[in-house]
Amino acid sequence: MDEMDFIISKYTEKTFDDAVVSVIKNIEKKGWAIFTIYDIRERLAAKGFVLGKMKIIEFCSAKNADRILRKNPAISICMPCRISVFESDGKIVIASMKPMAMGSFFKGIDASDIEEVDAGINEIINDSI
């Protein structure tokens, strides 16, 4: 298996900060809730490590989370959803795990349970590039 079997990843011409704002706006546009935004570069710098620009945005679709968690609470280890915005080789990347790939690992969860979340994350990323 290749990492791209589990990841949706797109380059954007936007600046890092504009890409982060775009992701946030597109999550909110879907009516999904943002839990927190981690500035990984800042957190590592506080411990003396140097890393390129990277933020992780955690968010959730309550309707989908409720439905899926009722089928198998163990899938909570994959929640909340996350989209990362980071700099790689001078380019800005917007990426996330593919929910369809992760859902297949859990009993009682099938593709129809994950489709809406998967489509939503793809839409958020595509609308953010």
Tokens of 17: 């900060």
Domains of the chain and CATH, by start: 3-128 (3.30.310.70)
Q: Residue 80: is the preceding peptide bond cis (ω within 30°)?
A: yes
Full-model pTM: 0.93
> Rounded to an integer, what distance in angstroms lies between the CA atom of residue 77 and that of residue 80?
8
Tens of pLDDT, residue by residue over 63-113, are 999 999 999 999 999 999 999 999 999 999 999 999 988 877 899 998 999
Let me know: does 84 contact 54? Beta carbons within 8 Å: yes
Over residues 42-77, the pLDDT tens digits come to 999 999 999 999 999 999 999 999 999 999 999 999
Short-list 114, 118, 96, 73, CA closest to 10: 96
